[in-house]
Amino acid sequence: MKITLKIKRFNPEVDKKPHWESYTVEVEPTDRVLDALHEVKWTQDGTLALRRSCAHGICGSDAMRINGRNMLACKALIKDVAKDGVITVEPILGLPVVKDLIVDMEPFFAHYRAIMPYLVNNDPPPERERLQSPEDRARYDDTTKCILCACCTTSCPSFWARGEYVGPAAIVQAHRFIFDSRDQAGEERLRILSEPDGVWRCRTVFNCTEACPRGIQVTKAIGEVKEALRTGVIR
């Protein structure tokens, strides 16, 4: 089938401001939007810039706004997103655009690093593995799936309004450790998240959960962190 891709373009070496360009490509309905973008890049206009690697929704490189919603281009199938044969593609919002679909991810990763995204356990490690019951392991399973794609954070109205807000992805990452029975820094992370630009900026709008390509219950995780802060109990 033929589809039209409307892509928001910006080349910092040429353009003063972004503009839209349209391309018509021949694709299969079951192709990925990423395939269509490659078709443009490889056969019509090599200057189109985007990040991508794995092409099956695991590396987290190609978050973009497709028909107004954040998705991974490699996980969005043409048949599911094309509206009357048209697909609009633009960079994710809330991070500085560097070129075409590429944004500066550093502010996003700075928030991630701020919540101590690593296991802290100061006891001398045992000879073998630390034990963890299947129930304790299941407690934080959902948030271990995060691939740091930024679909959630860049769909969040609170983040758009204020870039200092840590954002849902960083809270998801904090949740992964706070609720890990082996970790000992939960309280410190909670303290970080109780600051003005922490978890309370979340207005529970659920955009993030809808955007997450890994199906993580983002808003639920945020709620659990809020609950831990409110009650002072991690469980």
Partner 1 sequence: MPQYHQFDALVVGAGGAGLMAALHASRSVKTAVISKLYPTRSHTGTAQGGISAALGNLEEDHWEWHAYDTIKGGDFLCDQDAVEIMCREAIDAVIELEHMGLPFDRTPDGRIAQRRFGGHTNNITKKPVMRACHAADRTGHMILQTLYQQCIKQNVTFFDEFQVVDVLVENGACNGVVAVELATGEIHVFHSKATLIATGGFGKMWKVTSNAHSLTGDLPAALLRRGLPLEDMEFFQFHPTGIYKLGILLSEAARGEGAVFINGKGERFMARYMPTLKDLAPRDICSRCIYQEIREGRGIDGKDYVYLDFRPEVINRYFEEDGNPKRVDAHYLEQKLPDIIEFARVYLGVDPITQPVPIQPTAHYAMGGIPTTNDAEVLADETGRIVEGLYAAGEVACVSVHGANRLGTNSLVDLVVFGKRGGIRMAEYAKQASFRPINRDAAAKEGAAQLERIRNSNGTERPSAIRKELQALMDDKVGVYRTGAGLEEAIDHIRDLQARYQRIRIDDKGYKWNTDLMEAWELGNLLELAEVTAYSALWRQESRGAHYREDYPQRDDVNFLKHSMVWKNGRLEVRSKPVRITRYAPEERKY
Instruction: List residues near ligand SF4 by CB under 6 A.
Output: 146-152, 156, 158, 168-169, 172, 202-208, 211-212, 214, 216, 218-219, 222
- Smallest distance, Å, CB 60 to ligand FES? 5
The nearer residue to partner 1, 24 or 121, going by C-beta atoms, is 121
**What separation, in Å, do the N-terminal and C-terminal C-alpha atoms of the chain show?**
52
Q: Which of residues 62-81 bind partner 1 (CB under 8 A)?
A: 75, 77
| DSSP one-letter string for 134-173 | HHHHHHTTGGGG-----TTGGG-HHHHH-TTS-HHHHHHH
Instruction: Report the length, in residues, of the chain.
Output: 235
**Positions that interact with ligand FES (CB under 6 A):** 52-55, 57-62, 72, 74
Residue 134 interface partner, choices ligand SF4, partner 1, ligand FES, none, CB cut-off 5-8 Å depending on type: partner 1
Distance between CA atoms of residues 176 and 170, nearest Å: 10
Helix (H) or strand (E) holding 175: helix 167-178
Span from 18-26, 92-100, 164-172, 188-196 in contact with partner 1 (CB under 8 A)? 92-100
Closest to 114 in 3D by CA, of 176, 15, 198, 55: 198
Q: Residue 19: exposed, middle, or buried by beta-carbon count in 10 A (0-12, 13-18, 19+)?
A: exposed
Span from 18-26, 119-127, 186-194, 224-232 in contact with partner 1 (CB under 8 A)? 119-127
Residue 95 interface partner, choices partner 1, ligand FES, ligand SF4, none, CB cut-off 5-8 Å depending on type: none
